[in-house]
Structure 1
Amino acid sequence: MKRSLTTALALAILPLAAGCAQQVETIASAPAAVAEQRERMTILVSIDGFHPDYLDRGLTPTLSTLAAGGVTASMRPSFPTKTFPNHWTLVTGLVPDHHGITANRMEDQGRPEEPFTMATVDPYWWNEAKPVWVEAEEAGIRSAAMFWPGSAVPWGGTAQGWGPVSDGVLPSDWQQFSMQISNTQRVNAVLDWARRPADIRPEFVTLYFDTVDTAGHDGGPDSEEVNAALRDVDSHVARLTAELRKLGQPADLVIVSDHGMAATSSERVIALDEVLDESLYRLVEAGAYATFEPTEGNEKALVKALVDTDHANMECWEKSAIPAKYQYGTHGRIPPIFCLPDTGWTITRSRPNNAWTGGNHGFDMYAPEMAALFIANGPSFPAGRELASFQNTGIAPLLRHLVGLPQADRADGTLEPFLPVLPQAK
């Protein structure tokens, strides 16, 4: 019997349809594609000026959760308790007296007309100690810096003054610091790096927040400005961790600060013009400490006026006699005379005309107000562990361990503070 064209077409299509159905069933029943097995990242986060007691204010639920679910400690900064010296210590493992970034503002006999400021990226000032990201790059471990003091410096390069740098090592990815780049943009940059293909994805990353420190200077450590900054930074850390989880990106977070913050005011001021003839000296730095160069022929007179005289709320030393506990005073960039006020006091040229309050750091590294934050959370760390207080020279050895680098031959810090929670490092 002759089949209709419609029937013939239907019969012809049936095997094809059955085959398609079988194919669809096979695809549907196949196991889902295996998720990418991502290599663990190490992310070093600095929250400038974050005192560990800030966690007790109930304003930082994310940081508090990371602390409770990881390892935490009150960390002692190095001296002086300033931003650039301590950030360079954190990534080199050397105290400022040994790594050469001895202050936020420095002078050097080799560059008498070019003082160092926090905008200086000439390798001349930075080349005395190698940061972890340079060690990583040299070992073939890709690094990236979303800000960090010194991360925009071609380490090991050479330059004359502000001229071009001839060579040097930088992180594979880095950005020049700008306060115009918001905390959201900073976190986005780190997440964008984490989303990259494995061959160009960094294994070691730095991330820097400056807003808590700025608020502390402006309003003091107990101000609403600080509280607002704490909420903001915590929300950005929350977004960072949430997005890393979505990516399935394992990460060891090492969250630190460089120092704490002490309350200051115009009622606690040491006016130099009230205790010292200004013809005897040139002031290099003032504030939470002061450093002096004697004018020509006035070395002995300046020592007598500052070092050999008792001053209320301030102690002064020749650099060679700075107490050994500070590990400070041998480097050529440290001026001849150093004065340290009581914590919370400010050294100024003259007494201010207007009343003011605020916050500052740079004081005694052992002062409770100068304590720094340490939180470590991730697959390399156990939960719910608190370590004894340790000096921040230990952070670079910890980072080397996490990234897979050998420990440095030249170091002021070791892994010893972390052995209770890193038994595999013994």
Structure 2
Amino acid sequence: MKMGHRFTTAIAAAALALSGCAPAVESASAPVAVQEAREPVTILVSIDGFRSDYLERGMTPTLSGLAATGVRADMSPSFPSKTFPNHWTLVTGLVPDHNGITANKMEDPARPNEVFTMATVDPFWWSDAKPVWVEAEEAGIRSAAMFWPGSAVPWGGKVEGWGPVEGGVMAQDWQAFSMQVTNTQRVNSVLDWLRRPADIRPAFVTLYFDTVDTAGHDGGPDSEEVNAALRDVDKYVGMLVDGLAKLGQPANLVIVADHGMAATSSERVIALDSLVDPAFYRLVENGPYATFEATAGNATKLEAALLKPHDHMECWRKSEIPARFQYGTHPRIPSYLCLAEVGWNILPTKPTSPWSGGTHGYDPFAKEMDALFIANGPAFRPGTKLPNFQNTSVAPLVRKLIGLPQSTPSDGTVDPILPALKN
């Protein structure tokens, strides 16, 4: 059998599995088993850091096949184009300025002695926006979450002092993130959930892969590390598709990324100490963008240094951040923001040794930040290419697929994706 025929056959089998149209199997010696008629499950898959144009490298036959037989688009992240803010946008439909996860690292005036990090599960930080799995559970739709940022948080719960969280809603099944859990184990957990009897089987599932993002940071977007990670994650998406086919489980797959990736190096650094006296500010975050608070009595001096033209960087007061970023009203956003040109980093000092790699957090409408979007399954029109849309449309899409109303407050609508839906 020729390679091209094998590939076409494999993609056709995947399409049949996702649509629920499994081919009949006849046997002269044994009766044909009656397979359960399953309702489609919706599976939201995040491949962290999968830049949209990675799909064109020819290293992801499963993903490319799903795109060719389903729906494909470039998708713009929300600002800041970072992991936690955008994962929360993807499941709430609200931009970070409105969903409360305004950065990977945050401070809040209401909790002056605390800092939010990517390990924080205190519901206080997550309570501004309700994720889709909580909406599903409240509507009686069983859900399950494999590692999605925020899925280990009892949404709406309360913590007294240093005690445990009381109350709150979570997916019926979930796992807290651990890099010790392999991609094989992640996919197998999802398939195990779907092997259950119908009354305890989830109708909505999330799945998260982090290895492409890690490779992009380590080697840069054009590195062999990224290429190897692309081939690897494609294998696990194939494992998921094959597992669904064996179960006879139709599925609407929505495969997304939170952001893209840009090449960086020690030669493209904006050293803050050469522009402003470090005594004038307290640095909250740095990298593709930097956020600041002025130290006591130094706001005027800080503004004089920051709010003037700079090479490879623009700076604004919080209230004057350009409207297109939809960012600047939440109390967790610091008083000053500087955004670097794509490929540059804002750091406290000049690097003392050379380095190169990749990062994200830049202007979300820069091509390098474009994120992957693929959809495939019985709800979608095959062979559809959509114009670029913002990731605030993903949560409304998921709500529609699992039968939730579109009445939840959202910064996006399902409208940009409607041409790809059969009904």
Q: Specify if TM > 0.5.
A: yes
Q: Could you say what secondary structure the match of 1:38 adopts?
A: coil
Which whole-Å CA distance do the structure 2 matches of 1:264 and 1:91 have between them?
A: 29
Following TM superposition, by how much is the alpha carbon of 1:166 offset from its aligned partner in structure 2, in angstroms?
Answer: 0.8
Following TM superposition, by how much is the alpha carbon of 1:409 offset from its aligned partner in structure 2, in angstroms?
Answer: 3.6
Q: CA RMSD in A?
A: 1.2
| 1:249-268 superposed matches below 5 A | 249-268=249-268
Q: Could you say what secondary structure the match of 2:98 adopts?
A: helix
| 1:398-417 superposed matches below 5 A | 398-417=397-416
Letter in 1 for 2:353: N
Q: Could you say what secondary structure the match of 1:206 adopts?
A: strand
Percent identity for Structure 1 against Structure 2: 71
Q: Is the 2:154–2:168 Cα contact (8 Å) retained in structure 1? A: yes
Following TM superposition, by how much is the alpha carbon of 1:162 offset from its aligned partner in structure 2, in angstroms?
Answer: 4.5
Give the corresponding residue for 1:158: 158
Q: Could you say what secondary structure the match of 2:115 adopts?
A: coil
Q: Could you say what secondary structure the match of 1:413 adopts?
A: coil
Following TM superposition, by how much is the alpha carbon of 1:304 offset from its aligned partner in structure 2, in angstroms?
Answer: 1.2
Q: Could you say what secondary structure the match of 1:74 adopts?
A: strand
Letter in 2 for 1:118: M
Query: What's the CA shift string for 1:212-265, capped at 9, x where partnerless?
Result: 000000000000110110011000000110110011000000000000000000
Following TM superposition, by how much is the alpha carbon of 1:39 offset from its aligned partner in structure 2, in angstroms?
Answer: 1.5
Aligned residues, how many? Answer: 396
Q: Could you say what secondary structure the match of 1:107 adopts?
A: strand
Q: Quick check: 1:37 aligned with 2:37?
A: yes
Following TM superposition, by how much is the alpha carbon of 1:391 offset from its aligned partner in structure 2, in angstroms?
Answer: 0.2
Q: Is the 1:63–1:234 Cα contact (8 Å) retained in structure 2? A: yes
Give the corresponding residue for 2:391: 392
Q: Is the 2:79–2:326 Cα contact (8 Å) retained in structure 1? A: yes
Q: Could you say what secondary structure the match of 1:338 adopts?
A: strand
1:423/1:380 CA distance change after superposition, 3 Å? closer
Give the corresponding residue for 2:213: 213
| 1:78-157 superposed matches below 5 A | 78-157=78-157
Q: Could you say what secondary structure the match of 1:375 adopts?
A: strand
Give the corresponding residue for 1:20: none
Q: Quick check: 1:367 aligned with 2:366?
A: yes
| 1:227-306 superposed matches below 5 A | 227-306=227-306
Give the corresponding residue for 1:318: 317
Q: Is the 2:78–2:391 Cα contact (8 Å) retained in structure 1? A: yes
Which whole-Å CA distance do the structure 2 matches of 1:55 and 1:128 have between them?
A: 34
Which whole-Å CA distance do the structure 2 matches of 1:120 and 1:387 have between them?
A: 36
1:32/1:299 CA distance change after superposition, 3 Å? same
Which whole-Å CA distance do the structure 2 matches of 1:385 and 1:413 have between them?
A: 20
Which whole-Å CA distance do the structure 2 matches of 1:305 and 1:391 have between them?
A: 34
Q: Is the 2:381–2:422 Cα contact (8 Å) retained in structure 1? A: no
1:299/1:187 CA distance change after superposition, 3 Å? same
Query: What's the CA shift string for 1:266-294, capped at 9, x where partnerless?
Result: 00000011111000000000001000010
Which whole-Å CA distance do the structure 2 matches of 1:334 and 1:407 have between them?
A: 28
Q: Could you say what secondary structure the match of 2:207 adopts?
A: strand
Which whole-Å CA distance do the structure 2 matches of 1:156 and 1:83 have between them?
A: 22
TM-score of the aligned structures, taking structure 1 as reference length: 0.91
Which whole-Å CA distance do the structure 1 matches of 2:301 and 2:407 have between them?
A: 44
Q: 5+ residue gaps in structure 1?
A: 1-27
Query: What's the CA shift string for 1:77-117, capped at 9, x where partnerless?
Result: 00000000000000000000001000000000111111000
Following TM superposition, by how much is the alpha carbon of 1:415 offset from its aligned partner in structure 2, in angstroms?
Answer: 1.0
Q: Could you say what secondary structure the match of 1:420 adopts?
A: helix
Letter in 1 for 2:351: P
Specify the structure having the higher radius of gyration (Cα). 1
Following TM superposition, by how much is the alpha carbon of 1:163 offset from its aligned partner in structure 2, in angstroms?
Answer: 2.7
- Structure 1 window deviating more from structure 2 (199-208 vs 157-166): it is 157-166
Q: 5+ residue gaps in structure 2?
A: 1-27
Following TM superposition, by how much is the alpha carbon of 1:382 offset from its aligned partner in structure 2, in angstroms?
Answer: 1.2
Query: What's the CA shift string for 1:165-212, capped at 9, x where partnerless?
Result: 111000000000011111111001001011111111100000000000
Q: Could you say what secondary structure the match of 1:114 adopts?
A: strand
Q: Is the 2:379–2:422 Cα contact (8 Å) retained in structure 1? A: no
Letter in 1 for 2:416: P
Q: Could you say what secondary structure the match of 1:115 adopts?
A: strand
Letter in 1 for 2:402: V
Which whole-Å CA distance do the structure 1 matches of 2:199 and 2:386 have between them?
A: 36
Which whole-Å CA distance do the structure 1 matches of 2:165 and 2:314 have between them?
A: 41
Q: Could you say what secondary structure the match of 2:393 adopts?
A: helix
| 1:71-82 superposed matches below 5 A | 71-82=71-82
Following TM superposition, by how much is the alpha carbon of 1:330 offset from its aligned partner in structure 2, in angstroms?
Answer: 0.4
Q: Quick check: 1:226 aligned with 2:195?
A: no
Following TM superposition, by how much is the alpha carbon of 1:32 offset from its aligned partner in structure 2, in angstroms?
Answer: 3.5
Q: Could you say what secondary structure the match of 2:314 adopts?
A: strand
Give the corresponding residue for 2:339: 340
Give the corresponding residue for 1:67: 67
1:361/1:302 CA distance change after superposition, 3 Å? same
Letter in 2 for 1:333: R
Which whole-Å CA distance do the structure 1 matches of 2:163 and 2:232 have between them?
A: 38
Following TM superposition, by how much is the alpha carbon of 1:419 offset from its aligned partner in structure 2, in angstroms?
Answer: 1.7
Which whole-Å CA distance do the structure 1 matches of 2:214 and 2:30 have between them?
A: 55
- Structure 1 window deviating more from structure 2 (404-413 vs 58-67): it is 404-413
Q: Quick check: 1:196 aligned with 2:196?
A: yes
Following TM superposition, by how much is the alpha carbon of 1:33 offset from its aligned partner in structure 2, in angstroms?
Answer: 4.0
Q: Quick check: 1:177 aligned with 2:177?
A: yes
Which whole-Å CA distance do the structure 2 matches of 1:60 and 1:358 have between them?
A: 22
Q: Is the 1:122–1:161 Cα contact (8 Å) retained in structure 2? A: no
